[in-house]
Amino acid sequence: MAASNKTLAERDPIDPLVGRYPLVEGDPSFSEVTAAVVRPIEQPPKAWWIFFLLSLGMLGIFGISVGYLFWEGTGVWGLNIPVGWGWAIVNFVFWVGIGHAGTLISAILFLFRQKWRTSINRAAEAMTIFAVICALSFPTIHVGRVWLIYWPLPIPNQMGMWPNFRSPLLWDVFAVSTYFTVSLLFWYVGLIPDIATMRDRAKSRVAKLAYGAFALGWRGSHRHWVNYESAYLLLAAMATPLVLSVHSIVSFDFAVSQLPGWHTTIFPPYFVAGAIFSGFGMVLTLMIPLRKWFGLDHIITTKHLENMAKIVLLTGSLVGYAYSMEFFIAWYSGNPYEAFVFVNRAFGDYAWAYWIMVSCNVITPQLIWFKKIRRSATALFILSIFVNIGMWFERFVIVATSLHHDFLPSSWDYFSPTIWDWGTLIGSFGLFFTLFALFVRYLPMIAISEIKGVMEKANPHHPSYGHGGHEGPAATKEETPEAAAAPAEPKAAVVTEEKATAPEPEAKASPEPEAPKSSEPTDAPGADPEPAAPVAQTPKVEAPKVEAPKVEAPKVEAPKVDAPVERPGEKAPSQAEAVKKPEGPKSPTTRGWTAFMDAADMGIEPPKVTPGPKPAATDETPDKEGKEDA
């Protein structure tokens, strides 16, 4: 039974202080956490080189595809008369959705004080920025003559052209650019303490200069941390509404039109849920292999993966609900054109794409209900791949199935992608993965300063608080079997009993420090003789007092043994003495006063000293006797 309990504890370690899983496993020290996070930067593994080279090859495909597009024009894509929007707009909406998880994890979960976000927020923020870069590339290249891209800008010109501010495509420009700017600032502000850490650890001059320039003079002072937390909170508050607004505005590209299949009010919340769903799917796709390649399993734990899987399950269920409501609205509206579009989606020419979408986005995430699935890194990685595939097909189904069957059957056509469509899509993934690979190579992919704040050692109530994870736990474990049972109370008992038996000059005046040991057990009638005197008193009290009165050897030999009485009885006169103490700690008046008090407490004749302020009265009998003798 004990063995099974031990196995359960090892499998499900619960923090005894908060009753939850520890966010960092293995009880590492702060320095070990720093070393683990920066190891991929200082010593990149072979897996990173393989990942980077593959990404670079895919990026080359993107460059070739875009270059040929600029040379020949958009006719190299599979566009036709009814399907004027092809994969360019599909990829744009897909990448904007991928970028939503980073802001949700960093901003919204930060405002809700979800501490488990600290292990994944940095990589998710970087993923947001790189996904938006990929998304912005498609509106740029799909216009055809890119060298005339300045025409749609609101710049006064001689052609009399002016942007149509009522167009949702222009709304996209403002929404996505604002989202990119705030996300970039949010990401960079959170990076500043860790960039300073890399600056201090850098060995080459170029690295020191580069990290030092971007660290902005960070020194970790109190003022720096106050300003940092204020700025981080402000940017989190600014980024939170953007999570809802950006993809809502992107959905207006379709919802404000009069085309059946697009003209629906459910699109804004439906697109936001789908964006968070696809974003968390991409976070799982990236973080699961990276935590294994870089040895970060103890920081990005199974609990983090489980929490992300639960969000995927929630948003996947919301997306499935939106799919069903689209069919309900098409039926309930009584609009035959709307009903035809949705029936055509499920049973028409693109039925294969529709059911791939439903399978990946609605059916597959339901496996996360099983705990073994959502706590298995391999299973979650496979599920995340299906989520990414399903969300891309969702955007394809929205665009293609609504356009390829227009109001006039004579204009119906079937959209078929060309090799250049495929090259642009694969190349966009190459751009995304290349940027992400460079990020994890030169910047910490985990927020070092934030992950330390949620560790057990940062909790003031934790036994190892303040030790950095080195001395605390070890010292506690070593003291428990020997000295944890009796040292505190017997020490107090020894002092109390010694106060009562203080007037024993012959035993205490002896120059040998072993003398009090034989008398103390007989003076403690109510205390336990084993732990009372010899164990706690001898090493703790007498040893430091042997060296203290070195200056006057003949006078100090007597009070040398009576050190325990000085602790409770000396504090009151020391305050009165401090008011009128001569300059210098070694003055004769100070030494004489100490000798006087020691002799008075022992009940012997005090030495001749210069008269000074009388000590504060105490309740001890030896003081009164000493005054009468004086």
170 and 256 part of one domain: yes
454 and 494 part of one domain: no
78 and 197 part of one domain: yes
524 and 427 part of one domain: no
Higher per-residue confidence, 21 vs 607: 21
494 and 403 part of one domain: no
448 and 518 part of one domain: no
254 and 330 part of one domain: yes
Question: Which range (125-129, 146-150, 300-304) has the least confidence?
Answer: 146-150
Per the domain annotation, does 367 fall within a domain?
yes
Instruction: Among 458, 477, 507, give the residue marking a domain's end.
Output: 458
Q: Using pLDDT thresholds of 50, 70 and 90, give the confidence band for residue 100.
A: confident
pLDDT at 630 over 70: no
* Structure confidence at residue 485 (pLDDT): 38
* Structure confidence at residue 529 (pLDDT): 42
Per the domain annotation, does 477 fall within a domain?
no
Per the domain annotation, does 31 fall within a domain?
no
Q: Using pLDDT thresholds of 50, 70 and 90, give the confidence band for residue 16.
A: low
Residue entry with tokens 């949700």: 104
What's 73's domain CATH number? 1.20.1630.10
54 Cα distance to chain centroid? 29
Per the domain annotation, does 236 fall within a domain?
yes
**pLDDT tens-digit readout, 338-386:** 889 889 898 988 999 999 999 999 999 999 999 999 999 999 999 999 9
Longest Cα separation, the chain: 127
pLDDT at 321 over 60: yes
Instruction: Among 418, 434, 458, give the residue marking a domain's end.
Output: 458
In sequence order, which residues have a C-beta less than 8 Å from that of residue 145 and are 6 or more positions away? none
* Structure confidence at residue 81 (pLDDT): 83
**pLDDT tens-digit readout, 563-606:** 444 444 444 444 444 444 444 444 444 444 444 444 444 444 44
227 and 351 part of one domain: yes
C-beta separation of 361 from 94 below 8 A = no
pLDDT at 218 over 50: yes
Per the domain annotation, does 469 fall within a domain?
no
**pLDDT tens-digit readout, 513-540:** 444 443 343 444 443 444 444 444 444 4
**pLDDT tens-digit readout, 596-609:** 444 444 444 445 54
175 and 273 part of one domain: yes
C-alpha 87/C-alpha 261 separation (Å) is 18
What is the three-class DSSP state of 524? Answer: coil
Q: To the nearest whole number, what is the mean pLDDT of the chain? A: 76
Mean pLDDT within 500-517: 43
**Burial grade of 280 (CB within 10 A; 0-12, 13-18, 19 or more):** buried
Question: Which range (12-26, 196-210, 315-329) has the least confidence?
Answer: 12-26
Tell me the whole-structure pTM to 2 decimals. 0.70
388 and 525 part of one domain: no
224 and 114 part of one domain: yes
Per the domain annotation, does 185 fall within a domain?
yes
Higher per-residue confidence, 191 vs 576: 191
* Structure confidence at residue 393 (pLDDT): 93
Per the domain annotation, does 217 fall within a domain?
yes
In sequence order, which residues have a C-beta less than 8 Å from that of residue 304 and are 6 or more positions away? 23, 116, 119, 120
In sequence order, which residues have a C-beta less than 8 Å from that of residue 276 and are 6 or more positions away? 100, 101, 104, 243, 311, 315
Instruction: Among 458, 479, 499, give the residue marking a domain's end.
Output: 458
> Cα Rg for the chain, rounded, in angstroms?
38
Domain count, the chain: 2
286 and 192 part of one domain: yes
Give the residue numbers spanning the domain of 108. 37-153+164-458
* Structure confidence at residue 142 (pLDDT): 85
C-alpha 624/C-alpha 601 separation (Å) is 9
Question: Which range (364-378, 455-469, 505-519, 545-559) has the least confidence?
Answer: 505-519
* N-to-C CA span, the chain: 73
Buried (b) or exposed (e) across 15-54, using 16+ Cβ within 10 A?
Answer: eeeeeebbbbeeebbbebbbebbbebbeebeeebeebbee
pLDDT at 414 over 70: yes
pLDDT at 266 over 60: yes
pLDDT at 159 over 60: yes
Per the domain annotation, does 472 fall within a domain?
no
